[in-house]
Amino acid sequence: MIEQTASPRPGADLPDRLLAVRAAEGDDDSFALLVQRHSRPLLALARCMLDNPQDAEEAVQDAFVGAWRRLPEYRHSAEFRTWMYRITVNRCLTMRRRRPPLLPLDVVAEPATGDAWSQPARTAEQDAATAALSRALAELDAGQRVCWILRELQGLPYKEIAHVTRTSEQTVRGRLFRARRSLQEAMGPWR
């Protein structure tokens, strides 16, 4: 019996720029490939920005719908990936502005103490530290938070972050410096 290997999806090896041109001309399969390529990192970004998986999925879906509608306007001055990051960041910021804060700012969990480190205690400690980091990120101003997420979690270079946030590289570096300093202070008890 001859085994058949799954053939790659037609167009899967094409660059984003060409897929975007084809999608702008109405090729649904090209746009589906772009969605497949970029949805995972965009969803990770949105989850970090919104702290809610359902809101993150909605933001990314809205970003792709908006991109689909605006593809004829896309001028390729930036990579498609960068363009999608910008759309997703803007959508997340809009969603954050429209919703009330989830936690009061003065609520800070104390690190657990004790000498006996059972597995449940270690897990609880890690969960508390993660929650503290989430709160610290939520307290950053939107520009600092976006820059920190794009750099530290998404690994984007300063130049691309500047393009996504429509600022200069110097502004990105300043925001990252302030974000890191604020997070370091907030996470001091967890060291």
pLDDT in tens, 152-171: 888 889 999 998 888 999 99
Ordered structural domains, the chain, with CATH: 14-99 (1.10.1740.10), 107-191 (1.10.10.10)
Phi-psi sector, 183: left (phi>0), alpha (psi -120 to 50), beta: alpha
- Asked whether the predicted pLDDT for residue 2 surpasses 50, the reply is no
State the maximum Cα–Cα separation within the chain, in Å, rounded to a whole number.
Answer: 67
CA angle 132, 172, 159 (to 5 degrees): 125
pLDDT at 30: 92
- C-alpha 148: how far from chain center: 10
Q: Which two tokens stand for residue 125?
A: 């400690």
How far apart are alpha carbons 145 and 188 in whole angstroms?
18
151 Cβ contact partners less than 8 Å away, ≥ 6 residues apart: 158, 161, 172, 176
Q: Across all residues in the chain, what is the average pLDDT?
A: 82
pLDDT at 129: 76
Lowest-confidence range among 36-40, 77-81, 89-93, 128-132? 128-132
Residue 179 burial class via C-beta count within 10 angstroms: exposed 0-12, middle 13-18, buried 19 and up: buried
**pTM of the predicted model as reported, rounded to 2 decimal places:** 0.66
pLDDT at 66: 92
Q: What secondary structure letter does DSSP report for 159?
A: H
How far apart are alpha carbons 32 and 70 in whole angstroms?
15
The answer to whether 92 and 42 have CB atoms below 8 angstroms apart is no
**What pLDDT, in 10s, does the model give residues 96-151?**
888 765 555 455 455 555 544 557 777 777 777 777 788 888 888 889 988 998 89
pLDDT at 1: 43
Q: What is the mean pLDDT of residues 33-52?
A: 91
Q: What is the dihedral of CA 151, 39, 92, 80, to 10 degrees?
A: 70
Interhelix angle 28-50/80-98, rounded to 10 degrees, is 40
